[in-house]
Amino acid sequence: MLDVINLSGAEIAEKISSKALTKEETASFFKKRIEQFDQLLNCFVDVFEEYPKSCGDSPLSGVPIAIKDNICIKGKPATCSSKILSGHKAVYDATVITRLKQAGLLILARTNMDEFAFGSSTETSCYGPTRNPWDRSRVAGGSSGGSAAAVAARLVPFALGSDTGGSIRQPSSLCGVVGFKPTYGRVSRYGLIAFGSSLDQIGPITLNFEDCAYLLNIICGSDPKDCTSLITENIDYAKSLHQECKGLTIGLPKEYFGQGLDSQVKDSLEEVRSLFQRKGVSFKDISLPHTEYAVATYYIIGSSEASSNLQRFDGIRYGLRSGCSDLKELYFKSRQAGLGDEAKRRIFLGTYSLSSGYYDAYYLKALKVRRLINDDFQKAFKEVDAILTPTAPTAAFKLGEKIQDPLSMYLSDIYTISANLAGLPAVSFPCGFTKEDLPIGAQLIAKSCDESTLIKLGSLYQDNTDFHKKMPPLEKYIKNG
């Protein structure tokens, strides 16, 4: 059999199309790899014995894909890695799942995540934490940590995640893969179990920009089942691969390169800048002055929306139900047993922000600041085509290092949150390694509906580097027991 592990998803599809590989051989290869290595990483919460039926043809037809545990697959569990949804099975397919099936992809498994996507380390999962394949003593990031770690470890060719404040990009940075958050509304949210309805967006996690572009072609597009879906023309993002970037201008926001940024991350970003400059891309210093309010704004808005969305999980219709003598006790005991500490913290914060007497002081004020953050970006994009920033302030941190310090954990997303508040497309891609051989990610942000520029710049970078081809040393963990 071919050495599948070194093939991209598009290359695997090509081998299947030419009969050099079969779909069954491909699925068997990745399932055996999962059996061998996932005991070390805990990327998956379910690997399917029987796959959801798919049909159709695309440049990725026949290739396995993993799905984050908050995206509905008909007949399969959908738990958001929370005890309160234990036993719940989806009764319909999310729109992205329908499109994957129509494109002929093989839906192989569900991936681990922070409970209800509340976290930046995949440590709040009821299934236990996902470990970073580059160093098992460190986090994989979150909340899509299972998806990012699985792709980095080559347990699947690619995966879907969701991004509310960086939950695709931050774990992709920490695991050394490409994580893409499309423009808000570019991908249907129908069938995504909601965290923050004005912030959530589904997107791909891949090894390279080629696979990313093909997946975007499949999952993007308007959807009448999602009232926030954008009505726009379909774009072939693959046409932006390997295109000329000379003449483009990238902005460098001073607010993203100050205190708190690890020196090794900063040095790697300088190397990214140098490469782009050698290829004819110019740079301009810019300011996004309201960035300092982004974390506070995000946690008020996101928690408020989470508080509203999670009201439906009460022990009546979905999942866990605790014994009780009356309705009030049923609510109390089911939520007390079913929800983790971080989920409760977000619900309390959001409920408080929306409560009478505090709505104007917190939630309404956060909405106004959100508008100012968006205005900063709109002003910047009059002068630049894209913005370059770090994805995360540091490489992967130790398991347990921040789990008891919520504020420190929240600051892990300090560079990714603003793109969600403004609804902009953004991508993280591997751009170097620390002295401890941990991946470092760079982030590019573009104007609304301009995913093509991110694909163009990202593929140019990967055409001239090989960080995305490096593999975690999983075999050493097997040998060392």
Catalytic residues: 68, 143, 167
CB 399 within 8 A of CB 131: yes
- Beta-carbon contacts of residue 82 (< 8 Å; ≥ 6 apart): 115, 116, 126, 313, 319, 338, 339, 340, 343
Compute CA distances 3 → 6, 22, 107, 177, 179, whole Å. Answer: 6, 13, 21, 20, 25
Q: How many CB atoms lie within 10 A of CB 32?
A: 10
Per DSSP, 72 falls in state -
Tokens of 366: 């956060």
Burial of 106-139, coded b for 16+ CB within 10 Å and e otherwise, reads bbbbbbbbbbbbbbbbbbbbbbebbbbbbbeebb
Query: Residue for token digits 């977000």?
Result: 346
> Could you tell me which of 128, 198, 205 has the C-alpha nearest to residue 160?
205
CA distance 386 to 481: 46
CB 174 within 8 A of CB 442: no
CA distance 300 to 267: 33
> Could you tell me which of 263, 272, 211 has the C-alpha nearest to residue 238?
211
Beta strand spans in 371-463 (E): 386-390, 426-433, 439-446
CA distance 302 to 197: 8
CA dihedral 351, 355, 360, 363 (to 10 degrees): 10
State which H helix or E strand residue 110 sits in.
strand 106-111
